[in-house]
Amino acid sequence: RLVRHFQDLSWPDQGVPTKPRGALSFLEQVNWAQSTILGSGPIVVHCSAGIGCTGTIIVIDILADTIPQECLDCDIDISKMIQMEQRQHSGMVQMEAQYKFVYTAVQ
């Protein structure tokens, strides 16, 4: 079985990047690779602890998929999306800076 590994070295441990462009480009690359590989399996996302940064990037990815499908001029409750992720895995999106980064990334 072929496993493709993508690593974002620009994301600081226990922090957030200064600008979301790098994280968004990284997600575009991962999603493009996922869509072009026939029979590709699930995507695994992990950071050093597996919760804060991981949850942040997962929520951004979900929102990036949701916004174009729903509409560009509609209300999407980002806080509710984060709470849904936290119910599935405690500790996702831990710090205020991570919340702010999610909001900045999806603007």
SS3 24: helix
The verdict on whether 47 is a catalytic residue reads: yes
Per annotation, catalytic residue among 47, 53, 71, 74: 47
Element (H, E) at 56: helix 52-70
Q: Which token pair is 53?
A: 């940064």
Q: Is 82 exposed, middle or buried (0-12, 13-18, 19+ CB in 10 A)?
A: buried
* Alpha-helical runs (H) found in the chain: 21-36, 52-70, 78-88, 96-105
Catalytic residue numbers read 47
